[in-house]
Amino acid sequence: MVRKISRRSALGAAGAAIGTTLAGCAGDTDDDGGEAFRLGYATFQAGPYAVYGEEIIAAVELLVEDWNDDGGVQGQQIELSTVDTRGEPEEAIQGAQELVQQEDVHAMGHIVSTPETPALAGVTNENEVPLQTCTTTGVQAYDDVCNDYFFQGNRLTTPVARLGAPFAVEELGGEVFQLNPDDSFGRSVRDDWREAIEDAGGEVVDSTEASLDQEDFSSHISQILSADPDWVQMGQSGGDALSFMNQANEEDFTYPIYAHLMFEQLMMGVDESFFEDAPMYFTTDYTHSIDTPENQAFVESFEDEMDVKPSGVAGWAYYHMDAMLQSIDEQDSFDADTIVEGFKDYETTSLTGEYSMRGCDNLGASPMVYARSSGFADGIPEWDIVDEVSHDEVLDDCGSYGCEL
């Protein structure tokens, strides 16, 4: 079911409930009589990833509010419609079809699970609707959905591993244990990190996989303890990561963990003392600790509405979609092909610094930081920014990831 809101109507806080409608809106206008810009957003608000959905939606609502308060896009108010994918490809397809066929959205954004990405991209490509995603994606999966209407933020597994491994080998040591999900995404993460670790002069001393619904990690932890590595590369990022960390906390586990991606909501489910003995590292394009004026203003606004600092997924949702809206605002129509051509090779500034979207493969780039857990403040994980990579050093040359447009 589509949830729809125009910020000039009656929504108060970013976390407030949205009214429900299934009415088509192709003829909707804003209060000035012009055509509203119709934005669709798809993410998991129920199901196994629901813990992330509330912050994602809150961030997108806050983004729409900010734009509408500043006059909208091309002088027209933004009307936001959202759908709940529940983490299921079938639900993602149905939700995307509702957004593009019933709500007639001009553009879409999404943060979804890896299997949902091709499902959504298939619908938007078929209907020629521009789609901006910051979902973490394997290179093969990204190449499979490559098309002119699909724009990917800098969350591909390969550049994240290529940037993270040399830093980790130098900072933590060269002997590495790999723990990753036993699925196509997990294997992409494993292979990308293994290659990057070896290229950096490190060695994978042992490796194991676990199913996405794994609850008992006792054998995996025993394997890690036996291998006695310098650090552990971990690809888990859902409930399986939470299970692993909680069980590792019960053992004599003192190995730094370099997560392929990590969310504050997961860390909040683990005793704070665990991260004193096993510090968490990751390479990311967003954390609330990034000290730019734009980001700190966003953190303050988000915290005012949600009583919590924005997590990584909230930051992703806000600043990647903001970059697309900035591009659209500089065009002269909401036509899909105009939006696509305007976003290709677009450069701007967003929450974390410089942002560019290259047209050869529709890959976005923004600064990446090396973050290390530094304790908790009021129950919320805090991060030390150890170092930063500029936006123009994040991606390899065009064609390196398969997709060429």
Mean pLDDT of 171-180: 98
- Count of CB atoms situated within 10 Å of the CB of 255: 21
Q: What CA–CA distance (Å, rounded) separates 31 from 370?
A: 45
pLDDT band at 4 (very low <50, low <70, confident <90, very high): low
Domains annotated for the chain, with CATH where assigned, are 3-155+289-365 (3.40.50.2300), 158-284 (3.40.50.2300)
User: Residues 120-138: pLDDT tens digits?
Assistant: 999 999 999 999 998 888 7
Percent of the chain at pLDDT > 70 equals 92
User: Residues 40-77: pLDDT tens digits?
Assistant: 999 998 887 888 899 999 999 999 999 999 999 999 99
Q: What CA–CA distance (Å, rounded) separates 43 from 21?
A: 18
- For residue 355, the number of C-alpha atoms closer than 13 Å in the C-beta half-sphere is 25
Q: What CA–CA distance (Å, rounded) separates 365 from 397?
A: 12
The whole-number pLDDT of residue 11 equals 35
The whole-number pLDDT of residue 324 equals 97
User: Alpha carbon of 186 to those of 137, 164, 244, 263, 387: distances in Å?
Assistant: 10, 16, 15, 17, 26
Chain center to CA of 56: 9
The whole-number pLDDT of residue 3 equals 58
Contact residues for 85 (Cβ-Cβ < 8 A; gap 6+)? 42, 43, 44, 45, 47, 91, 92, 95, 110, 112, 113, 116, 120
- Position with higher pLDDT, 342 vs 29: 342
Token readout for 348 is 């701007």
What type of residue is 397?
A: D
DSSP string, 94-108: HHHHIIIIIS--SEE
User: Residues 272-321: pLDDT tens digits?
Assistant: 999 999 999 999 999 999 999 999 999 999 999 999 999 999 999 999 99
Mean pLDDT of 245-264: 94
- Count of CB atoms situated within 10 Å of the CB of 299: 20
Contact residues for 266 (Cβ-Cβ < 8 A; gap 6+)? 237, 238, 241, 242, 245
Considering the chain, what is the average pLDDT of its residues? 90
Q: What CA–CA distance (Å, rounded) separates 144 from 70?
A: 38
